[in-house]
Structure 1
């Protein structure tokens, strides 16, 4: 397995962000944070890069269950979804694979939760 699920979209960056946000909502996720990586790199380093944002997505039901099973799991929340402009009028959306990222945590109670979240994020990516 890989640490992310990715799909290339034949649409501009802003449309891809909107589509990803809606697809997340359709799977029960809200976007808690939006980190504009390109703007941050420009402000802090003077570096130019194509539009790139990290959406911090959270499904409250799964987050609550995970926190009940492992109180330090918050170090791995929310689930990151990256939207980036890859040029040529195309964008790429990538979501973290929770089964992979949480495999380092030796807590059997987290596995079914991570599996459910993984399934929803895969569905979200596929629906784009």
Structure 2
């Protein structure tokens, strides 16, 4: 299984970032922070294509994941990435199910439906750019 889900859009970087701000709440998530990663790198003298990290969270999902195994603290919040690429913008999301499975807990397979639900929501957000 993959640990990320990625699509390419012909929209500009700024259009994608604006749409992320619209689409995320419509899918039950909140944007906790917006990190202008490429701006930070540029301020330190490093060139990098436009890159923005959106930390997004659904409190219900976060609480459920934490109750399964508190080691998922390092996976919360979910990351949604926008990156300028030739011909448009790439949008990607970290998918928690496979990462969660690496924790090797008895509860992982019992909660596959929960993990699939989270991943479906994240893929829906990313797919809104196709």
Alignment TM-score > 0.5, same fold: yes
Q: Is structure 2 residue 125 aligned with structure 1 residue 127?
A: no
- Corresponding residue of 2:43: 43
1:60-86: CA deviation from partner (whole Å, max 9, x where unpaired): 110111122222321111111110111
After TM superposition, list the pairs within 5 Å mapping 1:16-31 onto structure 2: 16-31=16-31
- Corresponding residue of 1:105: 103
- Corresponding residue of 1:76: 75
Q: CA deviation at 1:123?
A: 1.4
How many pairs does the alignment contain? 126
- SS of the residue aligned with 2:35? strand
- SS of the residue aligned with 2:101? coil
Unaligned runs of 5+ in 1: none
- SS of the residue aligned with 1:84? strand
Q: Is structure 2 residue 59 aligned with structure 1 residue 63?
A: no
Paired residues of 2:5 and 2:94 also in contact (CA < 8 A): yes
Aligned mates of 1:7, 1:26 — CA distance in 2: 19
Paired residues of 1:84 and 1:91 also in contact (CA < 8 A): yes
Superposition RMSD in Å: 1.5
Aligned mates of 1:74, 1:3 — CA distance in 2: 17
- SS of the residue aligned with 1:6? strand
Aligned mates of 1:11, 1:123 — CA distance in 2: 17
1:21-78: CA deviation from partner (whole Å, max 9, x where unpaired): 322212111111111111111123x011111011111011101111222223211111
Unaligned runs of 5+ in 2: none
Deviates more, 1:100-109 or 1:25-34: 100-109
Paired residues of 2:8 and 2:90 also in contact (CA < 8 A): yes
Paired residues of 2:75 and 2:96 also in contact (CA < 8 A): no
Aligned mates of 2:3, 2:48 — CA distance in 1: 23
Q: CA deviation at 1:15?
A: 0.7
